[in-house]
Structure 1
Amino acid sequence: MALVERRDDAGLCTLTLNRPEALNALSPSLFVELRAHVEALHKQTDDIGAVILCGAGRSFCAGNDLRAIQDGDVAPTENYQSDTVDLIENLPQPVICAVQGHCYTGGLELALAADLIVAGSSARFSDTHGKWGMTPKWGMSRRLPERVGMQRAKEMMFSARVIGAEEAVSIGLAMECVDDERLLDHVTAMAEGFLENSWHTLRGDKMLVNQGQNHGHWGALEFERRNSPGRGPDLEERLKAFGKG
């Protein structure tokens, strides 16, 4: 059984964490499969225009699988997991993370690598590093403040408290909340809407916004002027279609 299932449909790739019996806890073996899919997606910009990341069963991801590590399941390199999360953030395609149930610690770090987080009504978010005497290595200290602000991120990290779906939306951690029963259909429709636009523009927008964060205000404007990919190969076709009404 695959620990990460991939399904492609008309330019949309859905990656599903597939350890529902373990609440999709992130074992090193799961990361190896996830990494292979993500590396492939980096090379498939002509075939895949958007990506959904989700979890099978009642939870998105309960976090790092400490039991698997205790049982001898070891990642190939020291920073393998954090490098994989970085690769997800740097995918050329827009990535939507659909979260139901648990989204704890390593699972939260994984979700934060997505461009958008959509919460199901059952979603519960928490950074539980403090409960175990651990500190983050997969990007929490950077990506969580970027998403919710410095003060809110520190409160979440210091308290290790659980945040429900509605609060997650109110603080900017999730973009919106929908009923669990509609979650995957909702994010699929959202992604399909993105795919109706130019994939060239989708990739360019993501690159400019993400990399622009590495500069100050004026530096980001200069970066955009220098690095905007410009007109896409589908411009003429789209203009002709517009002209035909």
Structure 2
Amino acid sequence: MTDTTAEPVLLTDRQGPVAILTLNRPRAMNALSQALIRTLTAEILWLAADDAVRVIVLTGAGDRAFSAGLDLKELGAKSGLLGMVEADGERPNPIRAIENCPKPVIAAVNGVAITGGFELALACDVLIAADTARFADTHQRVGVIPGWGLSQKLSRIIGPSRAKEMALSGRFITASQASDWGLVSRAVPAARLMDEAMALARDMAEVEPSFVAAYKQLMDEGYRLPFGEALALETDLSRRHNTALRPDELEARRAGVQAKGRSR
């Protein structure tokens, strides 16, 4: 799976406060080459620090694949490279970059999301899938242990039984199944995928960025804690944040919510 053109492996488009990142290796089913991993990681880090960007949408070029995962042909050409790619440390890691991004990252899953591509989608905050999308964990078929969190995240999202069904068989599930299982927020007609993702992104972009970052961090940190500790975390942040909120700010925002509700 090597690129045969000089086209960039990642495309970036700006639509106001929303940045759209497109994995651009359609002939290789948007497989994650070393060049794409480096470029994607760097771009996520750059956008995370750009105050003009409030939301990121991640998708794949073409209609066949969001991403087929790591480029195994490239990795197989050098002994030991596969083990280093998914390891923590100094190597570029797009999963960590997305997870640590203070801004919402929406995955617009336009085709198959397989193995490393599946892990990439799961790193995002919200997944919206085209009705033609499919998901699979095929680590077992190539004899590779996941290193970007799939073995732990999947069971927490869809339950251990369904996670093991996918992990130990390599079976694909449809976008409809993924929606039923709670793996994706929703499945939409393929022709409307980007419209739906952008509409959500624009709604998120209307919220004050520091609030979004704090709320996202609260949810992410709480998800990793036992329930009682997570509630205590929320109570502490709520007390500190809400005590500092001025009545006039609250009233202005309440009026804004009402106005938005009347316009829909």
Does the pair score TM above 0.5?
yes
Contact 2:38 2:92 in 1 (8 A): no
* Equivalence map 1:80-95=2 (5 Å): 83-95=93-105
Within a 5 Å distance, the mapping from 1:43-58 to structure 2 comes to: 43-44=49-50, 46-58=51-63
CA contact (8 A) 1:3 1:18 kept: yes
Say whether the 8 Å CA contact 2:94–2:120 is kept in structure 1.
Answer: no
Distance 1:13 1:235 in 2: 34
In 1, the alpha carbon distance for the partners of 2:247 and 2:21 equals 30
**Superposed CA offset, 1:31-79 (max 9, x none):** 00001111112322x321111110011211111111122345968x652
- 1:241: how far off? 7.0
| The one of 236, 244, 250 aligned to 1:226 | 236
Q: 1:166 to 1:234 in 2, by over 3 A?
A: farther
Residues 1:144 and 2:145 aligned together: no
Mapping of 1:59-138 within 5 angstroms?
A: 59-71=65-77, 78=85, 79=87, 83-138=93-148
Distance in 2, Cα, partners of 1:65 & 1:180 = 25
Match of 2:189? Answer: 179
Cα distance, 1:240 vs structure 2: 4.0
Residue 29 of structure 2 is aligned to residue 23 of structure 1? yes
Question: Residue 164 of structure 1: CA displacement?
Answer: 0.6
Cα deviations by residue, 1:139-187 (Å, 9 ceiling, x for unpaired): 1012211221122111110111010110110111111111111101110
> In the alignment, is the contact (CA less than 8 A) between 1:82 and 1:137 conserved in 2?
no
Shift of the 195–206 alpha-carbon distance from structure 1 to 2, 3 Å rule, reads: same
Aligned-residue RMSD, C-alpha = 2.7
Distance 1:237 1:48 in 2: 24
- TM-score normalised by structure 1 residue count: 0.89
Question: Per the alignment, do residues 154 and 230 of structure 1 end up closer, same or farther by CA in structure 2, a change over 3 Å counting?
Answer: same
Shift of 1:226: 2.9
Q: Which amino acid aligns with 1:48?
A: V
Residue aligning to 2:166: 156
Matches of 1:158 and 1:243 in 2, distance apart? 52
The alignment status of 1:170 with 2:159, answered yes or no, reads no
Unaligned runs of 5+ residues in structure 1 are: none
Greater Rg over alpha carbons, structure: 2
Structure 2 residues without counterparts, runs of 5 or longer: 1-6, 260-264
Is 1:210 the counterpart of 2:220? The answer is: yes
Whole-angstrom distance in 2 between the partners of 1:180 and 1:167: 16
2:235 and 2:44 map into 1 onto residues whose CA distance is: 29
Instruction: Name the structure 1 match of 2:4.
Output: none
Taking the TM superposition and a 5 Å limit, the aligned residue runs for 1:225-244 are 225-228=235-238, 230=241, 239-240=251-252
Per-residue Cα deviation, 1:100-142 (whole angstroms, up to 9, x for no partner): 2211000000000011111101101000011111111111012
CA distance in 2, matches of 1:171, 1:100: 18
